[in-house]
Amino acid sequence: MTKQIVPSVANTMISDRFEVFLVDDFVSEENTLYHYHDFYEIHCTLEGEGVFYVDNHEYHLRPGTVTLISPNDLHRVLSQKTESFRRCYIFVTPQYLQSHSTSRSDLAEAFRFLGSGHNRFLQLDPNELESLLAPLNQEPGTAYGEDLEYEVHLLRFLIFLNRLSQKQEHSLVSPSTNSPNNKDALIPQVIDYINENLDASLTLDSLAEKFYTNKYSLSRSFKKASGINLHSFILKKRLLYSKQLLRKYRSSTEVYSLCGFQSYTHFLRAFKEEFHITPKEFLKRESQNQVVLFDHYENVD
C-alpha cells in the first residue's frame, strides 16, 4: 500500500535574507516530510549518499552534489544510503537575490533550467565544496565587519554556482532510473501545466480533457505519484502564488482572481488555514521584516 505523502509548508526563516545550517542527523521516512516554501534552497551533500525527491522524481545524492531548489517546489530528502550523511542547507529569499543582482548578473539564474523554474543538480569535487562552504559553516563574530565578510563569502558562493550552472556538463538533470515515480510520464506534464496556469480554472474535468485521459485515472495516478490529491496540490500552489502577487499588488482584493480563486471569501479562508495569518497580516509582516522561527523540517515527529 502506498504511504500517503503529507506536504509541510516551510515558508518562514529566522532571517529575512538568508540562513545557513549544517546537518548530520539520520534521515528516514519516519522523520522527514514532503514540503515546499517560498524561498530558494541550496542543498549541499558533504559526506555520504542519499535519495532526494523533487516534483515527482527521485535523484541520487553523493558527496559534492549541490541541489538547487526553486520556490514552491515539492521536495524532500527521502533516505540516506550510507551510515553518515552530512549536508549543508542554505536558504535565500528571492528579495535577497534580486537586491544583489545586476542587469548582467542575475543570481537566480542558477535555479532556472532551460529558461524555466525547474530544479538543477550540480556535481562538484567534494573537497572543493567543503572548502567553499567552510567560511559559511562558521558563525561570524561580533567584531566590526565580520558580518559583512560572512555575507561576501555567501555572495561569492552564489556567483560560483551560477558560473558552474552555465556549464552543461555539470548538470545532473536525469532522475534515477529505478525511481517508481517515473512510470507515469503524464504527471510531470500535469504539474508543469498547473504551475504555468494557476490563474485558470484547473478543474479535474478540464485537466483530463487537456491531457486526453480519464479524470478518475488522472486523479488516482496523481495521488499515487505525488502523495497528495490533485485538488489539494492546486490549492497549495495557488496560495503560494498569491503571496508573490500580494508582494507586488499589496491588495488581496486585486490578487485573489489572478491566482485562480473564484471567491474572495474562499481565498481569505484558505489563506488563513494554510499560513495561519490573514493576507493583511502577511503584508504587515513583510513590510516590517518581522523575525519568524524556521522549523527544521527533517525533525518533525
Read off the pLDDT of residues 94-126 as tens digits, 9 standing for 90 and up: 889 999 999 999 999 998 864 444 568 899 999
Query: Mean pLDDT across the stretch 236-263?
Result: 92
- 90 and 62 in a single domain? The answer is yes
pLDDT confidence tier of residue 16, bands split at 50, 70 and 90: low
Answer whether residue 249 shows pLDDT above 70. Answer: yes
pLDDT confidence tier of residue 285, bands split at 50, 70 and 90: confident
Would 266 be classed as within a structural domain? yes
pLDDT at 252: 93
Would 26 be classed as within a structural domain? yes
Would 1 be classed as within a structural domain? no
pLDDT confidence tier of residue 178, bands split at 50, 70 and 90: very low
CATH of the domain at 117: 2.60.120.280
Range of the domain at 118: 12-177
- 160 and 212 in a single domain? The answer is no
- 51 and 194 in a single domain? The answer is no
- 173 and 188 in a single domain? The answer is no
Would 301 be classed as within a structural domain? no
Query: Mean pLDDT across the stretch 70-89?
Result: 88
Of 175 and 244, the one with more pLDDT: 244
Q: Return d(Cα 193, Cα 296) in angstroms, integer.
A: 30
B/e letters for 75-92, b = 16+ CB within 10 Å, e = fewer, are bbbbbbeeeebbbbbbbb
- If one counts the domains in the chain, the total is 2
Residue 8 DSSP SS3: strand
Q: Return d(Cα 262, Cα 267) in angstroms, integer.
A: 8
- 19 and 40 in a single domain? The answer is yes
Answer whether residue 234 shows pLDDT above 90. Answer: yes
